[in-house]
Chain A
Amino acid sequence: MRLTSIVKTASLIMATTALGAMALPAMADIKIGSSLSQTGPASFLGDPEAKTLTMLVDELNAAGGINGEKIELVMYDDAADANKARTFATRMVEDDEVVAVIGGSTTGTTMAMIPVFEEAGIPFISLAGAVVIIDPVKKWVFKTPHTDLMACGKIYEDLKKRGLTKVGLISGTGGFGQSMHEQCLSIAGDYGIDIVADETYGPKDADMTPQLTKIGATEGLQAVVNPGFGQGPAIVTRNFAQLNIGVPLYQSHGVASKSFIDLAGEAAEGVRLPASALLVADLLPDSDPQKAVVVGYRDAYEAATGSDVSTFGGHAYDAFKILVAAIERAGSDDPAAIRDEIEKTSGFMGTAGVVNMSATDHLGLDLTAFRMLEIRDGDWTIVAD
Chain B
Amino acid sequence: MSEFLQFFFSGITVGAVYALVALGFIIIYNSSGVVNFAQGEFVMLGGMSTVFIHALGAPLFAAALAAILITAAVGVALNKLAIEPARGASVVALIIITIGASIFLRGVAQIVFDKKIHRFPSFSGDAPFEIGGATILPQSLWIIGGALAVFFALYLFFTRTLTGKAVLATANNKLAARLVGINTNFVMTLSFALSAAIGALAGVLVTPVTLTSYDVGIALALKGFAAAILGGMGSPFGALVGGLLVGLIEAMTAGYISSEYKEAVAFLVILVVLFVMPHGIFGRTKLDRV
A and B touch in the complex (CB under 8 A): yes
User: A40, B215: Cβ atoms under 8 Å?
Assistant: yes
Q: Which residue of B10, B114, B135, B219 is within 8 Å of A244 (Cβ)?
A: B135
User: A209, B6: Cβ atoms under 8 Å?
Assistant: yes
Q: Is B270 an interface residue (CB 8 A)?
A: no
Q: Which residues of B contact A200 (CB under 8 A)?
A: 259-260
Q: Which residue of B13, B119, B128, B263 is within 8 Å of A207 (Cβ)?
A: B13
User: B115, A47: Cβ atoms under 8 Å?
Assistant: yes
User: A243, B210: Cβ atoms under 8 Å?
Assistant: no
Q: A213 CA to B11 CA in the complex, in Å?
A: 13
Q: A202 CA to B114 CA in the complex, in Å?
A: 23
User: A266, B3: Cβ atoms under 8 Å?
Assistant: no
Give chain B interface residues in 135-189, CB to chain A under 8 Å. 135, 137
Q: Which residues of A contact B110 (CB under 8 A)?
A: 39, 43
User: A43, B13: Cβ atoms under 8 Å?
Assistant: no
Q: Is B87 an interface residue (CB 8 A)?
A: no
Q: Is B265 an interface residue (CB 8 A)?
A: no
Q: Which residue of A207, A238, A266, A267 is within 8 Å of B14 (Cβ)?
A: A207
B206 to chain A, nearest CB (A): 7
Q: Is A192 an interface residue (CB 8 A)?
A: no
Q: A58 CA to B215 CA in the complex, in Å?
A: 30
Q: Which residue of A202, A213, A235, A241 is within 8 Å of B210 (Cβ)?
A: A235
- Contact size range, A: 35 or more
Q: Which residues of B contact A214 (CB under 8 A)?
A: 3, 255
Q: Which residue of B14, B209, B219, B259 is within 8 Å of A199 (Cβ)?
A: B259
In this complex, the member of A173, A202, A266 whose beta carbon has the largest number of chain B beta carbons within 10 angstroms is A202
Given known A204-B219, A210-B6, contact A44–B259 (CB-CB < 8 A): no
User: A211, B254: Cβ atoms under 8 Å?
Assistant: yes
User: A206, B17: Cβ atoms under 8 Å?
Assistant: yes
Given known A200-B259, A207-B14, A266-B126, contact A41–B215 (CB-CB < 8 A): yes
Chain B interfacial residues counted at CB < 8 A: 37
Q: Which residue of A40, A44, A199, A267 is within 8 Å of B116 (Cβ)?
A: A44
| Dominant secondary structure at the B interface | helix
Q: A231 CA to B126 CA in the complex, in Å?
A: 18
B256 to chain A, nearest CB (A): 9
Q: Is B34 an interface residue (CB 8 A)?
A: no
| Dominant secondary structure at the A interface | helix
User: A243, B135: Cβ atoms under 8 Å?
Assistant: yes
A87 to chain B, nearest CB (A): 19
Q: A39 CA to B119 CA in the complex, in Å?
A: 20
User: B6, A263: Cβ atoms under 8 Å?
Assistant: no
B136 to chain A, nearest CB (A): 8
Which residue of A has the minimal Cβ distance to B252?
A210
In this complex, the member of B128, B211, B215, B251 whose beta carbon has the largest number of chain A beta carbons within 10 angstroms is B211
User: B7, A44: Cβ atoms under 8 Å?
Assistant: no
User: B211, A210: Cβ atoms under 8 Å?
Assistant: no
Q: Is A230 an interface residue (CB 8 A)?
A: yes
Which residue of A has the minimal Cβ distance to B218?
A204
Given known A209-B6, A211-B259, contact A263–B209 (CB-CB < 8 A): no
Which residue of B has the minimal Cβ distance to A204?
B219
User: B14, A243: Cβ atoms under 8 Å?
Assistant: no
User: A210, B259: Cβ atoms under 8 Å?
Assistant: yes
User: B7, A213: Cβ atoms under 8 Å?
Assistant: yes
User: A44, B115: Cβ atoms under 8 Å?
Assistant: yes
Q: Is A67 an interface residue (CB 8 A)?
A: no
User: A213, B3: Cβ atoms under 8 Å?
Assistant: yes
Q: Which residue of A40, A47, A206, A267 is within 8 Å of B206 (Cβ)?
A: A206
Q: Which residue of A202, A242, A243, A262 is within 8 Å of B119 (Cβ)?
A: A262
Q: Which residues of A contact B255 (CB under 8 A)?
A: 210-211, 213-214
Q: Which residues of B contact A246 (CB under 8 A)?
A: none
A358 to chain B, nearest CB (A): 37
A19 to chain B, nearest CB (A): 23
Q: Which residues of A contact B7 (CB under 8 A)?
A: 209-210, 213
User: A210, B115: Cβ atoms under 8 Å?
Assistant: no
Give chain A interface residues in 261-275, CB to chain B under 8 Å. 262-263, 265-267
Q: Is A140 an interface residue (CB 8 A)?
A: no
User: A235, B211: Cβ atoms under 8 Å?
Assistant: yes
Q: Which residues of A contact B117 (CB under 8 A)?
A: 44, 230-231, 234, 259, 263
Which residue of B has the minimal Cβ distance to A40?
B215
User: B6, A206: Cβ atoms under 8 Å?
Assistant: no
Q: Which residues of B contact A207 (CB under 8 A)?
A: 10, 13-14, 209-210, 251
Q: Is A217 an interface residue (CB 8 A)?
A: yes
B214 to chain A, nearest CB (A): 8
B129 to chain A, nearest CB (A): 10
B239 to chain A, nearest CB (A): 18
**26 A-B pairs (CB sep. < 8 Å):** A40-B215, A43-B110, A44-B117, A202-B262, A204-B216, A204-B219, A206-B13, A206-B17, A207-B10, A207-B210, A209-B7, A210-B10, A210-B251, A210-B252, A210-B259, A211-B255, A213-B7, A214-B3, A214-B255, A234-B117, A234-B119, A244-B135, A265-B119, A266-B126, A307-B114, A307-B116
Chain A residues proximal to chain B, CB less than 8 Å: 38-41, 43-44, 47, 173, 199-202, 204, 206-207, 209-211, 213-214, 217, 230-231, 234-235, 238, 241-244, 259, 262-263, 265-267, 307
**In the complex, given contacts A43-B215, A210-B255, A211-B259, what are 10 additional A-B residue pairs having Cβ atoms less than 8 angstroms apart?**
A44-B115, A201-B254, A204-B216, A206-B14, A206-B210, A213-B3, A217-B3, A231-B213, A241-B126, A243-B135
Chain B residues proximal to chain A, CB less than 8 Å: 3, 6-7, 9-11, 13-14, 17, 110, 114-119, 126, 128, 134-135, 137, 206, 209-211, 213, 215-216, 219, 251-252, 254-255, 259-260, 262-263
